[in-house]
Amino acid sequence: MRFRTPLSVAPPWASTASTSACPRPSRVIDFVGATGDAATITERLWNPHAPRLPWPLFTLFQHELPPIEDTMLLSGVNNLVLSRLPEEKQGRHGAFFDCGPAPDIVPPPDRRVEHAAELTLRHLGVWGLLANALVARPAFVLQPLAPWVREDPLPREKLLFEELDEVSNFRRFHSDISTMEVGRAYADRLAAGCARLGVRFLDMNVALAEAAGPEDWLFIDRVHCTDLGYDLV
């Protein structure tokens, strides 16, 4: 992502040109896991790199903003998580959370990867059309999932995950996709699809694993980061 001031750690496509970009928030970008607004990805980008500009209200204040040259989506996990639901729950645009009881029969991981990648790329194709209308180069970043970043969590992460598993169903429902092998297979499909669409791609799981130190506490659950995790992202 590129703002007026180049990021200190830039992705492969970034240059040192003075430019601006517009990130699209999800729950990961927005707030979950952060101790406050200042620790979110949006705020970490907005305050140092585009201060005093109303980026989060782009649709209302576009006339006050400089031209956008790059736009980025950080997403991808929910489509794979929801791919376990039966076909009648998927509809035209994919399933939603809390739309029915957990199914007794779940597709194998390769089918889930195929379905989630197809759905994500279809949505990304529409986003690409919108970005091209703004003459803004689109990019897609696969969001990090703890078991796709590290084979083994830190002891404090493991304690949190185990405690959360007592009150939630993540491990019971999603252990089949919570492996490094599935994460890389999903990333490979998305990368190939992004190449066909002309969209730049980055697997944040690989990037975060390379950026983090061995004792860096990255996750408060398997999907959402700590302040440090968000800072590294």
Q: What is the pLDDT of residues 34-59, one digit of tens each?
A: 787 777 777 777 666 666 666 666 77
**What is the strand order of the sheet 200-203 is part of?**
21-24, 70-75, 137-142, 200-203
The length of the chain in residues reads: 233
Q: ∠ at Cα 184 (112, 78), nearest 5°?
A: 45
Question: What's the predicted TM-score (pTM) here?
Answer: 0.78
- CA atoms of 136 and 128, how far apart (whole Å): 9
Mean pLDDT of the chain: 80
Pairwise CA distance, residues 141 & 94, whole Å: 20
Q: Is 231 exposed, middle or buried (0-12, 13-18, 19+ CB in 10 A)?
A: middle
Query: pLDDT tens, 11-40?
Result: 333 333 334 455 554 455 556 777 877 777
